[in-house]
Chain A
């Protein structure tokens, strides 16, 4: 399938082997920088994260803004479906990877998940900073969209379909990121939030702020989707382990109301 079937092409990573073992790494370079020889001890984790996605770092304010976003996203909290899923793994003694896979799979979706961030970043590309275009975009009928492995979009991406007003946590995140990064979409969103929410008919959600921040950092929608998945995993890990310690007797197992029960059907 390739002219050089056993070679991996990459613009991200280079490795030099130890002289005695072609499979042992003597030096690893990320985007040309010596990872273990120069970066280690001199690099913030957030810098490494950005370098994995691009050749050059953004300015210091933008890095600080991304780091602040990473703090906000680190734990969606135990009410969030992705963390709920991770806890289902932890409470039953599933493997560590299973708990994280559960969080990734559930947190990948179009309701408060990474696909919503992808959609919201696509919306930024389509609508820019024009409230009227956002209004039309959010009202667009998606019934005839091409069939996709994802369920159809049900609400304006980046907004809370069950919200009443913007949660204080979302407002705080938006204002903080706009202040730190001073980037165009975040600043516009902070200034125009009420008007935009009125146009869309829903309050902004945390994913909508993340999407604006990722877009301001010049990430593509598929990169923002990946980052949103990655940055929410720490909370999933911690909550899964915690529920394993608490045990299943302290974890909700909900009552059920079965509406099609053969035991209650009349026999003919």
Chain B
């Protein structure tokens, strides 16, 4: 079925596998009664079940919790957090501030973009290795055609979160997966190639661990949505408690104008 027939077949009704609620009676979440079967679920476990339809072990859930915890930085200078804080300072609502800050986190050079591309890289590398290609050759090809996500960091090449995350993975017995091992091999090869600024970053390590948990790139992308969230409310709160407009107020002289010199407007209105 195609075209308007396809649209007409879907008009006016929701056909779904993932769930529904009947106000006053019950709610279903991916084939389970939310209240009877899942009322005691850990929130993150439920979140993952919602994304994947699969259940995760307590060790896996603990590791995935850690992925969020270790990068929750309540620093209002960071671009996404700054959005939350500016909302507080401008007396906007907390949900508007936080949802905008989360949206901003789906960025090209940090957050959502690199995470997605890093897991994609590891899974393509694993596929190439399964077909007999040496990892070094695969990396060399990637470097020729595109940036390798998961390695390198704009501010400081040393990522303070990695030892803690690696420790947590070890503690939970989840540090022996093929992608996690490959992530370290990739770093070694990059360093041997003289790419000393391309040390593994947080996107790289989290993507490798996510791949070892069997997450697809899209599932991993969805899992990461609230990753920075915990650091944002303190930024909003503090800014909302200070006098309005006092977060990074910018005086006129701090605009460095680099454009066309002042010129008269030749009125063109009809």
Contacts and interface: CB of A to CB of B under 8 A. Distances in A.
Interface of A: 1, 4, 6-17, 22-23, 25, 29, 31-34, 38-39, 41-44, 47, 55, 57, 60, 95, 97-98, 101, 105, 146-149, 162-164, 252, 254-263, 265
Contact of B269 (A31, A44, A147, A257): A44
A38 B267 CA distance: 8
A58 to B, nearest CB: 11
Given A22-B252, A29-B262, A148-B116, A105 B103 contact: yes
A95 B269 CA distance: 36
B256 interface: yes
Contact of B263 (A33, A263, A265): A33
A163 B3 CA distance: 6
Contacts of A97: 92-93, 96
B163 interface: no
Interface residues of B, number: 61
B262 A17 contact: no
Given A22-B252, A163-B3, A147 B120 contact: yes
B15 interface: yes
B256 A257 contact: no
B30 A8 contact: no
Contacts of B249: 23
Given A95-B93, A257-B14, A149 B221 contact: yes
Given A7-B254, A16-B252, A149-B113, A258 B16 contact: yes
Nearest to B263: A32
A39 B253 contact: no
23 contacts: A1-B154, A7-B256, A8-B250, A9-B256, A10-B258, A10-B259, A14-B257, A14-B262, A15-B255, A17-B253, A22-B251, A29-B257, A41-B269, A42-B265, A42-B267, A95-B93, A147-B117, A162-B4, A254-B14, A255-B13, A257-B14, A260-B17, A262-B31
A234 to B, nearest CB: 20
Contact of B15 (A15, A23, A257): A257
B219 to A, nearest CB: 12
B30 A12 contact: no
A71 to B, nearest CB: 16
A260 B96 contact: no
Contacts of A101: 96, 99-100, 103
A236 to B, nearest CB: 16
B6 interface: yes
B217 interface: yes
A34 B99 CA distance: 36
B10 to A, nearest CB: 10
Contacts of A13: 255, 257, 259
Contact of A254 (B12, B37, B96): B12
A164 B2 CA distance: 10
A97 B217 CA distance: 31
A55 B259 contact: yes
Contacts of B117: 146-147
B195 interface: no
Closest 10 CB pairs of A and B: A147-B120, A14-B257, A11-B259, A42-B267, A17-B252, A22-B251, A32-B260, A38-B265, A260-B31, A15-B252
